[in-house]
């Protein structure tokens, strides 16, 4: 059970956020969104919006979302499209430090078991009602059941309740050091919505998309667009805009997200002015786009990682030896080179986190980039493998996913594996990966997250379903440990286990490209495209 009312609390104000959250220290080393302009471009000028309102912002996305229920999926496409609709209690700034969003302040008990969140007053939902603690309680409880990230948190949650109309009390069974980071991430998000919508949806997909964000949902026309419009009653924060935090000004009257599966079409659309922004531009176009006077190409840093996920729950990849056999067969350099081209846009390193961050470690590196076919064949033999087909889900909508799986599957075939590379649209990949009987491997990308607890592969609820006692015990200890130095030590052990258990293969890190029209005022590159503070075409 949680702590009781007599527990002592320490009030935490916005000034203290930077020293109290687990992400402190990450930003300076790892953050740094970089905008590369064409001839005559001025990145500084582009970052400052002239605050001109009106017009329509048109964004070309990689395809059709499977869902707009941002709670129930970790698909980046859904996170991007719903970013302006839903808000959370906290969010991240440009240095990946936790900042307040829907809270005005919070307090945590001395034993770390009780969090008290005080909500901002006068925050309206898109449907007109004002945000209350009851809305937050229902939203968080749904998140705890529906989101792979929420499921991980709620293993440590005893209860969530309303202490007053503007106060939410979360009691923990055990301390949970990365709680605020989980409540801030806009992916598998702890999105706040009206109580009646959260309760009405329950464990089913949302049918109404109502939040407190600067844009309100208007229409989803399948295979055509998702349309959001400025919410004129939006209650903006007063702090300067930084990353996903601070003031959000919906400058565009309307924002349209178009599914454009062909990357060449997305690029041509920005060049011609049909779109203002295009997501996920292929890295081999970087050199040409840098010199194009019509566009600005943005390199999003810190990097994301390419990952091949195994189905550890059902099928042939439930066998540890076979997963290890695949891991040691692969040669990461040609995979990354063929996929991303320019060496400045990718890197090979065994660590999940870059040098300079507290989480950098080489633990488990003996399993990385081994490329030993003889050892692979021996492990496959020990696994009892005799040529059974490996069903690998991939897509052409993300150019890097398609290229990497073609190269990697060829390597596996040369090593004696039988691979059925199943190419489909991204929405179908998301649909099939949720069904354990449908696949053995799938490809995806993992964005930078400031605390390792946010790595979805460790939750056990993420497709792949890596759920073993050693991992669960280490992960629980890592999350419960308040001392940063001890957390770093526990992370090295988790990192070692992650390699030896091989729930995924991670060939390397890459830097995403986002394309924008030349001189688009207010545009800032980000992992999930930010639609606010950006002037639209009129």
Is the pLDDT assigned to residue 270 strictly greater than 90? yes
Is the pLDDT assigned to residue 412 strictly greater than 50? yes
CB distance 139 to 192 below 8 Å: yes
Domain final residue, candidates 259, 283, 314: 259
Of 81 and 343, the one with more pLDDT: 81
Question: Residue 45 CB: number of other CB atoms within 10 A?
Answer: 11
C-alpha torsion 192→195→199→200, nearest 10? -100
SS3 441: strand
Share of the chain above pLDDT 70, in %: 90
Output the pLDDT for position 63: 92
Identify whether residues 338 and 220 lie together within a single domain: no
For 505, list phi and psi in degrees, rounded to 5.
Answer: -115, 130
Is the pLDDT assigned to residue 37 strictly greater than 50? no
Identify whether residues 309 and 245 lie together within a single domain: no
Per-residue pLDDT tens for 450-496? 899 989 899 888 999 999 999 999 999 999 998 999 999 999 999 99
Question: Residue 251 CB: number of other CB atoms within 10 A?
Answer: 24
| Run of H or E including 377 | helix 373-382
Confidence of residue 320 (pLDDT cuts 50, 70, 90): very high
Share of the chain above pLDDT 90, in %: 81
Output the pLDDT for position 356: 83
Per-residue pLDDT tens for 125-174? 999 999 999 999 999 999 999 998 999 899 999 999 999 899 999 999 99
Of 303 and 337, the one with more pLDDT: 337
Beta pairing class for 441-446 and 389-394 = parallel
Identify whether residues 255 and 345 lie together within a single domain: no
Number of domains, the chain = 2
- Is residue 45 included in any domain, yes or no? no
Domain that holds residue 193: 9-30+63-259
Identify whether residues 354 and 233 lie together within a single domain: no
Residues 98-102: contacts with CB under 8 Å, at least 24 apart: 98/17, 98/21, 98/23, 98/180, 98/181, 98/184, 99/14, 99/17, 99/184, 99/239, 99/242, 99/245, 99/246, 100/14, 100/17, 100/237, 100/245, 101/184, 101/237, 101/245, 102/131, 102/136, 102/192, 102/212
- Residue identified by tokens 């203290």 is 16
- Is residue 522 included in any domain, yes or no? no
Q: CA 22 to CA 45: how far, in whole Å?
A: 33
127 to 70, 121, 210, 424, 518: CA distances (angstroms)? 18, 17, 7, 37, 36
CATH code of the domain in which 181 resides: 3.40.190.10
- Is residue 136 included in any domain, yes or no? yes
Of 226 and 49, the one with more pLDDT: 226
Give the mean pLDDT of 303-310: 94
Is the pLDDT assigned to residue 27 strictly greater than 90? no
- Is residue 107 included in any domain, yes or no? yes
CATH code of the domain in which 398 resides: 3.10.105.10
Domain final residue, candidates 259, 292, 323: 259
pTM across the whole model: 0.83
């Amino acid at each position: 059970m949680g702590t009781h009312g007599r527990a002592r609390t320490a009030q935490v104000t916005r000034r203290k956020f930077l020293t109290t959250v687990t992400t402190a220290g990450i930003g300076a080393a790892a953050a740094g969104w970089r905008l590369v302009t064409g001839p005559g471009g001025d990145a500084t000028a582009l970052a400052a919006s002239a605050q001109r309102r009106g017009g329509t912002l048109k964004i070309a996305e990689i395809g059709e979302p499977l869902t707009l229920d941002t709670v129930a999926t970790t698909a980046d496409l859904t996170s991007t499209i719903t970013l302006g609709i839903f808000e959370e209690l906290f969010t991240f700034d440009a240095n990946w430090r936790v900042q307040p969003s829907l809270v005005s302040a919070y307090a945590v008990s001395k034993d770390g078991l009780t969090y008290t969140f005080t909500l901002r007053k006068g925050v309206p939902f898109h449907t007109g009602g004002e945000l209350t603690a009851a809305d937050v309680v229902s939203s968080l409880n749904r998140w705890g059941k529906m989101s792979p990230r929420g499921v991980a948190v709620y293993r440590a949650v005893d209860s969530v309740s309303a202490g007053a109309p503007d106060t939410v009390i979360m009691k923990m069974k055990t301390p949970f050091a990365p709680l605020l980071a989980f409540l801030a991430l806009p992916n598998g998000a702890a999105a706040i919505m009206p109580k009646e919508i959260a309760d009405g949806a329950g464990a089913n997909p949302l049918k109404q998309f109502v939040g407190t964000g600067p844009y309100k949902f208007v229409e989803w026309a399948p295979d055509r667009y998702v349309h959001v419009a400025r919410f004129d009653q939006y209650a903006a924060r007063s702090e300067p805009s930084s990353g996903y935090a601070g003031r959000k000004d919906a400058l565009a009257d309307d924002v349209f997200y178009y599914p454009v599966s062909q990357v060449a079409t997305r690029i041509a659309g920005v060049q011609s002015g049909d779109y203002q922004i295009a997501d996920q531009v292929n890295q081999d176009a970087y050199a040409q786009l840098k010199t194009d006077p019509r566009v600005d190409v943005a390199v999003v840093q810190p990097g994301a990682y390419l990952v091949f996920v195994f189905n550890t729950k059902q099928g042939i990849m439930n066998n540890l030896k076979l997963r290890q056999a695949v891991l040691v067969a692969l040669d990461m350099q040609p995979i990354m080179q063929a996929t991303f081209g320019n060496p400045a846009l990718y890197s090979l390193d065994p660590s999940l986190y870059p040098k300079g961050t507290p989480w950098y470690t080489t633990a488990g590196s003996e399993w990385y980039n081994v490329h030993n076919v003889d050892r692979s064949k021996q492990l496959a033999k020990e696994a009892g493998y005799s040529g059974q087909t490996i069903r690998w889900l991939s897509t052409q909508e993300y150019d890097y996913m398609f290229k990497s799986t073609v190269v990697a599957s060829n390597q596996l075939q040369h090593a004696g594996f039988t691979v059925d590379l199943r190419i489909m649209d991204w929405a179908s990949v998301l649909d099939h990966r949720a069904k354990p009987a449908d696949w053995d491997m799938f490809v995806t990308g993992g964005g930078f997250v400031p605390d390792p607890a946010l790595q979805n592969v460790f939750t056990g609820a993420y497709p792949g379903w890596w759920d073993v006692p050693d991992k669960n015990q280490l992960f629980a200890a890592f999350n419960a440990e308040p001392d940063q130095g001890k957390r770093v030590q526990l992370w090295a052990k988790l990192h070692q286990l992650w390699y030896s258990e091989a729930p995924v293969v991670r060939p390397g890190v890459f830097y995403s490209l986002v394309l924008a029209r030349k001189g688009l005022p207010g545009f800032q590159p980000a992992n999930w495209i930010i639609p606010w503070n950006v002037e639209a075409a009129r």
